[in-house]
Amino acid sequence: MNRPARALSFALTLALAALAALAVVAAPRGARAQDAADAAPDPFLWLEDVQGERALAWVREHNETSQGELEARPEFAQIEADTLAVLEAEDRIVVGTRRGDWMYDFWRDAEHPRGLYRRASVTSYLAGKPVWDVLLDVDALAAKEGESWVWKGMSLLRPEFRRGLARLSRGGSDAVVVREFDVEERAFVEDGFALPEAKGSLSWIDADTVYVATDFGPGSLTTSGYPRIVKRWRRGTPLDAAVTIFEGAADCVSVGANRDDYGGDGTLDWLRNGTSFYTSQRFVLEGTERTFVDIPDTARVHTYFAGLLFFELKEGWDVGGERYRAGTVLTIALQDLKAGRREFAVFFEPTATVSLQSIERTKSFLLVRVMDNVRDRLLRYRRDGAAWTRAEIPFPGHGTIRTSSVDADRDTFFASYSSFLHPTTLYHIDGDTLAKTVVQQAPERFDPAPYESRQRFATSADGMRVPYFVVMRRDAARDGANRTLLYAYGGFRISMRPRYLGALGRNWLDRGGVYVLANIRGGGEFGPSWHAAALRENRHKAFEDFEAVAQDLVATKITSPRYLGIRGGSNGGLLMGAAFTRRPELYGAVVCQVPLLDMRRYSKLLAGASWMAEYGDPDVPADWAFLRTYSPYQNVVKDKAYPRVLFTTSTRDDRVHPGHARKMAALLESLGHPVLYYENTEGGHAGAADSKQRAHATALVYTYLLNELRATKE
């Protein structure tokens, strides 16, 4: 179909959709109008056909229009170049992963956009002069095989670390191809372990045996699209000869098995049956026997140390005559638990402002990272008989601490620290003395001197104090005219932590912008209760928190609605959709990325069914009653003035269906609301498969924001 014909076909589609939408808008208000809207056929269902010719023609048309407008802006090329320079800088910090005497790393640069899997000796790495040995060139592999490979990681077999299981994705999708790799030979193993493309797992038991959970054929996947069967597979035998060790129900989320090495505590083989996104049955495998781990199915198992199992409660628990609240970490000897004993000890208790983020073990200690009023702290716990002694490893101010190369083989490890205005510093730390040695210091990508970051609090609709960070020029006027970008996520117990702004500093702060990070409910900043407060029928609390931050920014004259832009992706994309359909007058620009938007159909699209514990089941009338109140796709109307939204997604996103963004953009257009839309053909849920794609997408976003939030619009 030529372009004029495509345009005419699309115009007819919009006209028909507009008539259908007008009929819904004209229906009587209240329940009858909602019933009519819900019963009406979806005029844009065809856009859910990911690779359909008609849908892709629509995508090409919109990409051409949106890119044509934004790329023509004078700032676009500079933003793209500056972003790419940051992403591909040769002096980037390298946070390697230690395996034996080697540090492993995956590196991308201008010459290798798909990347190099490489290693250097620990000695050269610690000296600050690593000599890198390339093990696999993904660009060369992609060219040789004619595939758009995106690297998804390598799992090396302990203790020699010679054999690995390499994961490769076509275009960045979650589904991966797995192949066995020989590190010393720098080649894939002929007739080695290999899996075709699927969402699943392949994990080492020993050199000749693996656990495998994959698409074994009809009936082997859950309704969420993940494996429901896990098998034990021996080298040299066909996959269909692998021995089934567990089958989950079709309506569970996924199953899997793996072996963990706990050093002097030995190994444990774990079987997990993920009955929902937040609930799992756990078993310890010993040969053909499996023993049920009788702890709450919402609990999170952190580690195994000194014969003790450490697990965190996500909900309150009454057991053995005691009441333990959510966020508490309990311990028990694994042998006692297997024998049916119920005598637990408290290892960690949360407070109103302190919550647990992670527990990792070294050879002799436990490393515990907590968040204290959205500030990371790293603690070392030493066991002395039945007691624990605690020492803090100091880092400055509000920032993010990340640990790496923490394992049961040694008591040394790496930790990095960064904040909004200070780039990452990587330390090598002695767990015994707590001495820190700087391994690398990333250079500044913008001058931090003119800026300051402050934590503030807004009051939500129900009186809850909601923290947020503001990064802006020290001398910025409080006149309500600062172009401001507000970012939040608010779901799945994911914490939003201060991080170095890097490219954002160049693209936004140095152009006079203000950056705001909101820690709204639904995240994990204050433990399980902060997350649970916005689950299911309480989702509106996350939206109210976000609105409270926006209103506080206006009330304090940091900005005003005309100059306030908002941005979020995935669950944050749902947040954006709810934000601009609920309170469009609060925002001047909206960046809605890889979003969920049609909550009527989300559970039927790709991995959507796995998230019903977070949002609810739209096929249950009581759940749809609250989902209907905010589902962005069902709450668009003709007679509201919406900001012009920029939607971005990826054709290769096999986690959140691109149909959400496609349909929302088409619906808005059909009702006369202008939008911008960009869909990358690669990138998966990340939206970009390499640095050039990421720089291009970033330039589209900031060019859009700078122009939408101008004092006057053309």
Q: How large is the C-alpha radius of gyration of the chain?
A: 26
Which of 39-48, 247-256, 307-316, 467-476 bottoms out in mean pLDDT, i.e. has the lowest?
39-48
The kind and range of the H/E element at 382 are strand 376-384
Which among 453, 685, 691, 696 is annotated as catalytic? Answer: 685
* Strands 243-247 and 354-361, sheet pairing: unpaired
Contact (Cβ atoms closer than 8 angstroms) between residue 524 and residue 493: yes
pLDDT digits (tens, 9 = 90+) for 266-280: 999 999 999 999 999
DSSP state of 691: H
Contact (Cβ atoms closer than 8 angstroms) between residue 333 and residue 308: yes
Query: What does pLDDT average to over the chain?
Result: 93
pLDDT score of 15 more than 50: no
* Strands 267-274 and 280-286, sheet pairing: antiparallel
The kind and range of the H/E element at 550 are helix 540-555
- Residue 605's pLDDT band, with cuts at 50, 70 and 90, is very high
The kind and range of the H/E element at 693 are helix 691-708
pLDDT digits (tens, 9 = 90+) for 365-383: 999 999 999 999 999 999 9
User: Average pLDDT for residues 112-119, to the nearest whole number?
Assistant: 97
pLDDT score of 593 more than 80: yes
pTM: 0.92
pLDDT digits (tens, 9 = 90+) for 127-179: 999 999 999 999 999 999 999 999 999 999 999 999 999 999 999 999 999 99
**Between the CA atoms of 450, 454, 460 and 464, what dihedral angle is there, to the nearest 10 degrees?**
180
Tell me if residue 685 is catalytic: yes
Contact (Cβ atoms closer than 8 angstroms) between residue 247 and residue 229: yes
- Residue 712's pLDDT band, with cuts at 50, 70 and 90, is low
pLDDT at 633: 98
The secondary structure of 633-689, three-state, reads HHCCCCCCCCCCEEEEEECCCCCCCCHHHHHHHHHHHHCCCCEEEEEECCCHHHCCC
Tell whether the torsion through CA atoms of 569, 572, 575 and 580 is positive or negative.
negative
pLDDT digits (tens, 9 = 90+) for 477-531: 999 999 999 999 999 999 999 999 999 999 999 999 999 999 999 999 999 999 9
Cis status, amide bond into 159, omega within 30 of 0: yes
* Three-class SS state of 176: strand
pLDDT digits (tens, 9 = 90+) for 273-307: 999 999 999 999 998 899 999 999 999 999 999 99
pLDDT at 34: 58
Contact (Cβ atoms closer than 8 angstroms) between residue 409 and residue 263: yes
Burial class (CB in 10 A: 0-12, 13-18, 19+), 61: middle
pLDDT score of 460 more than 70: yes
Tell me if residue 670 is catalytic: no
Euclidean distance between CA atoms 702 and 700, whole angstroms: 6
pLDDT at 40: 78
Which among 201, 405, 570, 631 is annotated as catalytic? Answer: 570
pLDDT at 713: 53
Contacts 24+ apart (CB under 8 A), 636-639: 636/581, 636/664, 636/667, 636/668, 636/671, 636/673, 637/25, 637/671, 638/21, 638/22, 638/25, 638/671, 638/672, 639/25
DSSP structure string for 482-524:
--EEEE----TT--------HHHHHHTGGGT-EEEEE--BTBS
CATH number of 3-83+445-708, picked from 3.30.420.40, 1.10.3720.10, 2.40.50.660, 3.40.50.1820: 3.40.50.1820
- Residue 287 makes CB contacts below 8 A (sequence gap 6+) with none
pLDDT score of 33 more than 60: no
Tell me the one-letter amino acid at 588. Answer: G
- Residue 25's pLDDT band, with cuts at 50, 70 and 90, is very low
Domain regions of the chain by residue span: 3-83+445-708, 93-198, 201-292
